Amino acid sequence: MFYFHVSDGATNLDRDGTDLPDLAAARAEAVATIADILHDGNVNFLWAGKPLRVWVTDQPNESGKVLFTLNVTAT
């Protein structure tokens, strides 16, 4: 199980997780998550200096080991 947490002006912690076969699939899912957020167009937080962050852990609610983090910023 992989837990995808998102900070996009607000922090949303994943309690349920996503069952994926491996780390490569989790990385692809994280990129897709960021793409979806950017595509939705509500990214005023980026222009206000707040980063978009997706981090993935091996336990729910931001506990456990952080497997990787993706950050998007705008200047």
Q: Report pLDDT digits (tens) over 28-40.
A: 999 999 999 999 9
Name beta bridge partners: 18: 2
pLDDT value of residue 62: 85
- Model-level pTM? 0.92
- pLDDT tens, position by position, 30-74: 999 999 999 998 899 999 999 999 999 999 998 999 999 999 999
pLDDT value of residue 9: 87
pLDDT value of residue 42: 85
Q: What is the dihedral of CA 57, 25, 27, 67, to 10 degrees?
A: 30
By 3-state DSSP, what share of the chain in percent is helix, strand and coil, each rounded to 5?
A: 30, 30, 40
Q: What is the dihedral of CA 68, 74, 44, 61, to 10 degrees?
A: 10
CA–CA dist 75, 66 (Å, integer): 27
At 35, the amino acid letter reads A
